[in-house]
């Protein structure tokens, strides 16, 4: 079964850091670009970051550039999101999603994880 499973969410204080993980199974992870998307409570989807198959091409949303860092380990079939300088505005469910084998511009987001909740509060 093709699957993405996120982990690492939780409660963190403002200014703190958190590292999210996304483990892939059921497909050849190294052949696909990958993405992180978040959804604040009661709000819409917000794309955060994209990484190519070999990590050469990384794109970030303005809202997280310089604070969040996407990375991957193809040997471990895993995607990561290092989040620093967190604020209350970062409180959201964080999803990882599969991109494409072709181009990050054509990422399909066809497979999504179940999401992991991040709450930033003192």
Partner 1 sequence: QSVLTQAPSASGTPGQRVTISCSGSSSSIGSNYVYWYQQIPGTAPKLLIYKNNQRPSGVPDRFSGSKSGTSASLAISGLRSEDEADYYCAAWDDSLSGRVFGGGTKLTVL
1 near partner 1 (CB under 8 A): no
In the set 16, 52, 55, 59, which binds partner 1 (CB under 8 A)? 59
107 near partner 1 (CB under 8 A): yes
In the set 21, 84, 104, 119, which binds partner 1 (CB under 8 A)? 104
CA angle 36, 118, 1 (to 5 degrees): 50
Asked if 94 contacts 20 with a C-beta cutoff of 8 angstroms, the reply is yes
112 near partner 1 (CB under 8 A): yes
In the set 3, 31, 73, 106, which binds partner 1 (CB under 8 A)? 106
At 100 the three-state DSSP class reads coil
Sheet of strand 3-7, all strands in order from the earlier edge strand to the far edge: 3-7, 18-25, 78-83, 68-73
**Which residues in this chain contact partner 1 in the complex, by CB under 8 A?**
35, 37, 44-47, 50, 59-62, 95, 104-110, 112-115
């Amino acid at each position: 079964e093709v699957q993405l499973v996120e982990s690492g969410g939780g409660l963190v204080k403002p200014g703190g850091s958190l590292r999210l993980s996304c483990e892939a199974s059921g497909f050849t992870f190294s052949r696909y670009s990958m993405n992180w998307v978040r959804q604040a409570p009661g709000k819409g989807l917000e794309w955060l970051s994209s990484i190519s198959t070999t990590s050469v091409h990384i794109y970030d949303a303005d809202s997280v550039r310089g604070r969040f860092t996407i990375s991957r380990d193809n040997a471990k079939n895993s995607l990561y999101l290092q989040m620093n300088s967190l604020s209350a505005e970062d409180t959201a469910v964080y999803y990882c999603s599969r991109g494409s084998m072709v181009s990050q511009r054509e990422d399909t987001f066809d497979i999504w994880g179940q999401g992991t909740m991040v709450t930033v509060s003192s």
